[in-house]
Amino acid sequence: MRPPAPLPDELRSRPFHVRRAAELGVTRGRLGARDLSAPFRGVRAVARPAGLLDLCRAYAERMPERHVFGHETAAGLWGLPLPSRAPLPLHVSAPAPLRQPRVSGVVGHRLGSGIRTTHLAGLPLVAAADAWCQLAAALGHDDLVSAGDRLVGWRSPLVALDEIDAAIERFGPRHGAKRLRAARGDIRPGSASRRETRLRLRVLRAGFPEPELNAPIRLGAGWTAHGDLVFRQYGVLLEYDGEQHREDEVQFHRDVERLNDLAADGWIVIRVGRRLPPARALDQLERALRARGWHGIRVR
């Protein structure tokens, strides 16, 4: 079997629309060759799109003007944590009076008035805080809080808290508005992961004091450490122990040094992970807090 004819250079490195290929002299038969994938109707790609960003770039080749990625797709592009990581279907919104898309692999939406849009990585999409608001109809409380915590997350926040408030006001009385306001009450700056957020919510529901998130701790050894959930008044630290720390030898030894210096300064460190599930960690947290003078009531 003869190998397929080579494509023009312009079409080799990115997805392309069949109309553009025809303009460059590519035949219909060549467009149907087995070395090309067809992620969406009218779109071809040399390499099959592997993830959300690649799929969005492929769909963008046929996306009508003024349409934008929204809902779970926009949230995924912004890096918000979601219960499901499946990239398909894509969620695409169209402003009135444009028709919503009807394409296999795509869910069409009406872009509500007041919803802000922007561009990210060259793609049109709903702004980060507005995309979070659009999740309210699909996510439960803890998942919505986890996504909101990422908006104002540690080291690389996407927005400020007042921008979330403004987005909620723009969202108005749409479906999910009550969930948004309830979730907003539990959003805190400083979380570094979805697991940290869910651990914090369990801590608060159990009646424990509210911790500082990824707060700096000045150590007697002369350097500053950061702790996931810091109960500074009681000298107690609750940490989510990610498995990647054990697989990274350099990080593992840094953690050992940090834990030793914390212990030397009198901190009690409780690590939560696969080897210590949250339920047992909360028991240990209660004992540690009470040993340091906490007299609150634990809720079970």
CATH (domain of 236): 3.40.960
Does residue 70 sit in the same domain as residue 174? yes
- Give the pLDDT band of residue 246 (cuts 50, 70, 90): low
Does residue 94 sit in the same domain as residue 122? yes
Does residue 133 sit in the same domain as residue 240? no
Cα separation, 126 vs 75, whole angstroms: 9
Does residue 211 sit in the same domain as residue 269? yes
> 269 in a domain, yes or no?
yes
Averaged pLDDT for residues 28-42? 95
> 113 in a domain, yes or no?
yes
> 298 in a domain, yes or no?
no
Does residue 103 sit in the same domain as residue 20? no
Structure confidence at residue 114 (pLDDT): 93
> 216 in a domain, yes or no?
yes
Does residue 113 sit in the same domain as residue 181? yes
Structure confidence at residue 242 (pLDDT): 65
Total domains, the chain = 3
Does residue 41 sit in the same domain as residue 59? no
Domain range enclosing 164: 54-186
> 3 in a domain, yes or no?
no
Averaged pLDDT for residues 61-80? 98
pLDDT surpasses 60 at 45: yes
> 122 in a domain, yes or no?
yes
pLDDT surpasses 60 at 268: yes
Does residue 116 sit in the same domain as residue 156? yes
pLDDT tens digit sequence for 201-213 = 999 999 999 999 9
Quickly count: other Cβ atoms within 10 Å of residue 174's Cβ: 15
Does residue 64 sit in the same domain as residue 134? yes
Closest alpha carbon to 112 in 82, 85, 136? 136
Indicate the pairing of strand 16-17 with strand 43-44: antiparallel
**Percent above pLDDT 70 for the chain:** 98
The tokens describing 159, both together, are: 């927005």
Q: Could you tell me which residue, 289 or 246, shows the higher pLDDT? A: 289
Averaged pLDDT for residues 5-24? 96
- Give the pLDDT band of residue 75 (cuts 50, 70, 90): very high
Closest alpha carbon to 87 in 135, 49, 114? 49
pLDDT surpasses 70 at 245: no
Residue 78 — left, alpha, or beta (φ > 0 → left; ψ -120 to 50 → alpha)? Answer: alpha
Residue 268 — left, alpha, or beta (φ > 0 → left; ψ -120 to 50 → alpha)? Answer: beta
Cα separation, 211 vs 165, whole angstroms: 23
Model confidence, pTM? 0.93
Structure confidence at residue 85 (pLDDT): 84
Q: Could you tell me which residue, 256 or 165, shows the higher pLDDT? A: 165
Does residue 61 sit in the same domain as residue 181? yes
pLDDT surpasses 90 at 254: no
Quickly count: other Cβ atoms within 10 Å of residue 287's Cβ: 13
Does residue 41 sit in the same domain as residue 95? no
